[in-house]
Amino acid sequence: MFQNPSPPPRGLIRRPAGKLAISVALAALAITPVVPSAMAKAPDRTPTAAAKLPYQNASLPVSKRVADLLGRMTLDEKIGQMTQAERGAVDADPSKIGTLGSLLSGGGSVPTPNTPTAWADMVDRYQKAAMTSRLKIPLLYGVDSVHGHSNVLGATVFPHNIAIGATRDPSLARRTAEVTAQETRATGPQWAFAPCVCVARDDRWGRTYESYGESPDLVTKMETSIDGLQGAPGELDDPNHVLATVKHFAGDGLTTYGTGSNDKTTGTYPIDQGIAQVDQKTFDKLALQPYVAAVKKHHAGSVMPSYSDVDWTEDGLGNRINAHANKALITGWLKGKMKYDGLLISDYNGIDHIKPESYTFDQQVVAGVNAGIDMFMQPWNYDQFEASLKTAVTTGKVKPGRIDDAVTRILTKKFELGLFEHPYTNRTHLGEVGSKQHRALAREVVGKTQVLLKNKPGALPLKANQKTYVAGSNADSMTNQAGGWTLSWQGGDGPIPGTTILDGIKSNTKSVTYSADASAPIPKGSVGVVVVGETPYAEGFGDVGGPQWTGADGKLRPSQTMQLNAKDKAAIDKVCAATSTCVVLVVSGRPVIIPQTQLKKIDSVVAAWQPGTEGAGVADPLFGHTGYSGRLPVSWPKTLNQEPINVGDRFYDPAFAYGWGLTTRAH
């Protein structure tokens, strides 16, 4: 999801129809919700304190409660339920809160102070305003808990999905999601915009770390995270669970390099928000397969469309259509063929990506609603969206049944979450946010995500109490090891509680010399550990060759390259030349190219990914407290020119193949 404190640039994107659009169009037309008309004037049945109306009766089935409430709503109230605004926007106009269906905190949109209690107080304040509305319909509050409730200072931050994929352990994916859900709901939000079930096929994409891997089978296997977030069917109202969102539907991991949007103010996005130029068979396997299990087996409560376009090249027509306007996919395949009964939430200003070169905003609204999107994330222009949608309904461009279908899906989730009975935050687990138990699990997870790529006999594990020389830009950087979507959208610069990798090394040996740039003298007889890799980033700005961006500290960040920077390369050369054993830990959200000439001089290489707040977990297998067991969820190229490179390619010659990972035993 594209989330920053101000509206994002409008992407230059559109998408094709192709064979899939033709094949499922009839299914799309067959879906006609049997619900009351949105155009009918709602009777004046405002609930009173003395009367309990059917929708307020928790003993009735959810379907009956929804139907009763829907029949009491005006068109304005229905459209309000379809609208999600940024909480920072409504702070300037609190009177609007009661008319909206949902609020969100975008990346970096946090209360002051940024504490768990302040979060709960903030969400409850908005909920209190919603409860003053005529029908007292509670708010849904959404947040990007993509690797823990990472907007909250002090929350447990887990490794990103790519690292979880390296464990090949579905139970571990579920357990991390359980903690994420508990910490999220304890602070107020009931809705997580996670997990990403994309299949990342080009590591130059800045969202690669949000994918569990390059194989649809692996991604599907790790979808147990949905169960961890939501619990079993019927458990959404439990204070340990939140509504999950599988994203980005569909094909975001397949976008072709060089097809991203181009905006004069931000530069070129070489792959993000681009075009998936694939044939339908490939699209079905790589893009749609993970959604079958997500909605059929794991019952994901919500789905978020992609910014990307799809171009089924097999028909030779070059047709393109944006995912937010793709009725064949949303209404035909997902709601029709898959019989999906959850809700569709647009991405951040997602409808802006519908034919931006030719469509007006009003046309984009109509296209998105008619495609089957139910709730619209319009963070700053929510009032414009509401006005546009009302006009579309009154002029017949959007049918009343489509409105009622959308509101039915939204209200159903609110009832299932138990919000009508318990609208305010259940603070039972508030004190467990960032607890020792949660951090212990995170440390366990970190250890199991480590992938040992190379190991000269006798090099690893390191022995305790031996002289250790530590260098590299990522050895003592909580910001770098936490990565993107931590405290802010592109990654935070704040004092994040936790342990760095250097902390973990120091806890294992008393004789440690640390020098980030390796300028300090290297004691004779030392083993060397050089921690290198990437700086934080997220979508767009993390694309290889993407635009530069300014961090929270005001410093301009360079575009990512998937290459080691000059200082890290120099540190590796110096340390490996002067130590008895030289270990390189790569902290990154995807493979980073290590020159083959340099790789030969390194005794051991570990893909440490971005471990989150518990960097000490990196040291556990490094010193033999646990064994190395991770396996690559993506292919690791020799050179950047090999991208995209994936297992099964006709010409496949990576530095380290998909599934590669050496093992060691614990002491």
Positions marked active-site: 347, 539
Which residue in this structure is represented by tokens 């999906």?
Answer: 340
Laid out side by side, the sheet with 275-278 consists of 275-278, 309-312, 321-322
Q: Where does residue 653 rank: exposed (0-12), middle (13-18), buried (19+ CB within 10 A)?
A: exposed
Radius of gyration of the chain, Cα coordinates, nearest whole angstrom: 25
Which residue in this structure is represented by tokens 């991770």?
Answer: 630
Q: For residues 554 and 332, give the distance between their C-alpha atoms in angstroms, rounded to a whole number.
A: 46
Identify the CA nearest to 606 among candidates 517, 506, 533, 545: 533
Give the distance, in angstroms, between the CA of residue 591 and the centroid of all CA atoms in the same chain: 19
Identify the CA nearest to 148 among candidates 517, 388, 432: 432
Please report, as a single letter, which amino acid is at residue 265: T
Q: Where does residue 493 rank: exposed (0-12), middle (13-18), buried (19+ CB within 10 A)?
A: middle
Count of Cβ atoms closer than 10 Å to residue 459 Cβ: 17
- How many Cα atoms occupy the beta-carbon half-sphere of 477 within 13 Å? 24
Please report, as a single letter, which amino acid is at residue 498: G
Q: For residues 87 and 95, give the distance between their C-alpha atoms in angstroms, rounded to a whole number.
A: 13
Cis peptide bond prior to 644, omega within 30° of 0 = yes
Please report, as a single letter, which amino acid is at residue 250: A
The size of the chain, in residues, is: 667
Give the distance, in angstroms, between the CA of residue 248 and the centroid of all CA atoms in the same chain: 9
Residue 59, token pair as written in the block: 């003993």
Residues in contact with 645: Cβ distance below 8 Å, sequence separation at least 6, in sequence order: 203, 635, 637, 652, 654
Identify the CA nearest to 602 among candidates 590, 584, 620, 589: 584
Which residue in this structure is represented by tokens 């504490």?
Answer: 115
Residue 173, token pair as written in the block: 């994916």
Apex 89 CA angle, 85 and 92, nearest 5: 140
- E strands of 158-263, at which residues? 191-192, 245-249, 262-263
Q: For residues 472 and 602, give the distance between their C-alpha atoms in angstroms, rounded to a whole number.
A: 14
Q: For residues 533 and 586, give the distance between their C-alpha atoms in angstroms, rounded to a whole number.
A: 5
- Helix (H), strand (E) at residue 583: strand 581-587
DSSP state of 134: S
51: left (phi over 0), alpha (psi -120 to 50) or beta: beta
Please report, as a single letter, which amino acid is at residue 320: R
Residue 453, token pair as written in the block: 């790529």
Identify the CA nearest to 117 among candidates 192, 182, 187, 190: 187
On whether the CB atoms of residues 156 and 145 are closer than 8 A, the answer is no
Residues in contact with 375: Cβ distance below 8 Å, sequence separation at least 6, in sequence order: 81, 82, 83, 84, 101, 102, 343, 344, 345, 346, 406, 410
Residue 281, token pair as written in the block: 């068979």
Residue 215, token pair as written in the block: 């194989």
